[in-house]
Structure 1
Amino acid sequence: MRPSKAGDEQLNVFRFPPLVAPIKCTVFPLVQNAQYEQVAKNISRSLTAAGISNKKDITGTSIGKRYARTDELGVPFAVTVDSTSSVTIRERDSKDQIRVSIDEVAAVVKEVSEGRATWADILKKYPAHTSLSVKEALLSCKSRN
C-alpha cells in the first residue's frame, strides 16, 4: 500500500520484481490523439517483438489512474507517449521517470526486465524526467503539434 498523491487514500501496489512480473510494461498515450495512439501501438509491437510482455491502454482515463491500475497489477514499467519522437519510462516502485527515444524503449525495458541492469543503472545512463502537471503536459503536447 502507498498513499495516493492527494494523501486521502491508500493505493494497492503489487511489487513483482521485473524478472518475474507477468506483464513487464504498459504503454499508453498521455492524451487521446491519433498520432500518439499510433506511436503507442508501434512501441507495443516492438516490445512484443523483443519478447517483452506488455499491455496497451488507449483509454481516455487520467494518467494517474492508469499508473495506479498498472501498479495494482504489479507491472514494473510504464511507457507514456507524449511526443512522436521520445517517451517517458516510469518505474513503479520509485515512480522515477526517464526520457528515451522511441527506438530505445524496447532495449531499455528488456535490459532491466531481464536483470542485466538495475533501475539505478538505467538512471545513470538516462536523465531523470520530472512529471509535469496535467495542465503543463497538455500545453506541452499542444505546442509540439
Structure 2
Amino acid sequence: MLSCKHDNIIKSLLLAIQLQLSVLHASQKQIKMDINSLGNEIMIKGSPKQNLSLFINTSSEFIFKSVINIRNVTLEHVYQMMSQHLGIKVTASKKATLRTCTKLVCNELATLPSVQAFGPRPNAIKIGHPLQESVISGKIIKGGNCK
C-alpha cells in the first residue's frame, strides 16, 4: 500500500515537471519569435546600421549581442599582427577576405558570456590585457572560459 502511494506521488511530480517543461518550451518559442519579429521590424524600418549590429542574423533567427564592435577590434589586432609581427603587406583583397572570416568568427564569439563580460564597447587594451595575463600565468583558454 505504501509503495503504491509513493508511486502515485512520483507520477504526480513527473506530470507536474512535464507540464512545466511544456510551458517553458512554449515560452522559449515565443521569445524567439519576438526576437525575430523585432529584428525583422528593425530591417523593415530601415534603421541605422548601428542598430542592426546589435543582432546576429543566423540562418533561422536573430540573436541579440551586447558587444557591438568586437569585429572591428579583432580586425585591428589581425591587421597589426600581419603587418608588424609577420611582415605581411595587408592588401585590399586580403582585408576583404579577413573581414568575411572575422565576421563569421566574431558573430559566434559575441554570444559567449566571457566575451559579453567586456561590455558594449571593448577596446584593444580591455581585451588584450586579460588574454596576456592568462597566457603569462599558463592558463588555457577553452570554450570562452579561462581554466
TM-score scaled by length of structure 1: 0.23
Q: Which structure would you say has the larger RCO, counting Cα contacts within 8 Å and 6 or more residues apart?
A: 1
The structure that is helix-richer by fraction is 2
Greater C-alpha radius of gyration: 2
